[in-house]
Amino acid sequence: MRRIWSRLRRIAGIPSGLVFVALFAFYLLINAVSWQTAQSAGAYGVWAAVAAAVTLTAVLFIRWQRQVADAVAPALERPGSTKLAVRRGVVMLVGLDSAEPGTTFLRLLATAGQLEYLALVASPQATDRGVVDRLLAMPERVGRPLSHERVRVWDDSAAEVMADTEQAVTEAIAWMLRHELHPSQIVVDVTKGRRTMQFGALIAAARAQVELQYLASDWHHLDDRPRSGSAEFTVVHEHWDNVGPDADPRG
């Protein structure tokens, strides 16, 4: 019931009182225009005005829909979760809340069915607060243990220094490449971490032709919150059409 009332208070993010007043004013305006048209041009004039308004609305709606479709289509063609399922290496940025319940890391472990190599890029603050240690304990806890020699941590990256994260991600990618992973088999996850860390990771990943991903959800405009159950990993920029040693570069 509380959720219903919260929806009634806001409609598409706009206060409901403002919406109702605007609709009532629009209703009065339509009646005034109809009355004036009937007085001056009769019934035929009213229907002609209605037909013109409907036609204009249809034209504007079709134009808007085409613009929206062009903008949304590329985002819907980024199969992050599908590719993650066959990735062998993940470089993950660690934030101060990365080990909280319902963390992205658990979703990543559940999706990456062929994960062999894991690199964590963290700030000293995340290490001091025990975030890294809790993350390292999660794979075994959920039945996805990784051997110690295939897990590495870079924990000296200052969160506010972009170059530190760039260097750490570059080294992590190089470590995986030395173990004969193809760039398409590696992904850098930037769901967590500060903005400066994310930009540094983006630069390093782009230079190595490694794809970047984050966990994204559809937004529920009535509830003004992420839509439940819609979270999926999204690739920011695709370099490869598929994943594997013989992956084809994206044209």
pLDDT tens digits along 119-147: 999 999 999 999 999 999 999 888 888 99
Question: Token digits for 64?
Answer: 């808007």
Letter for the amino acid at 82?
T
Beta bridge partners of 249: 240
Helix (H) or strand (E) holding 119: strand 117-121
- Provide the pLDDT for residue 210: 96
Q: Sorting pLDDT into bands at 50, 70 and 90, what band is 215?
A: confident
Q: What is the pLDDT of residues 15-74, one digit of tens each?
A: 777 777 888 888 888 888 778 877 887 777 778 877 888 888 888 888 877 765 554 444
What does pTM read for this prediction?
0.67
The answer to whether 205 touches 211, Cβ cutoff 8 Å, is yes
Q: Please give the backbone phi and psi of residue 245, each rounded to the nearest 5 degrees, phi first.
A: -60, -25
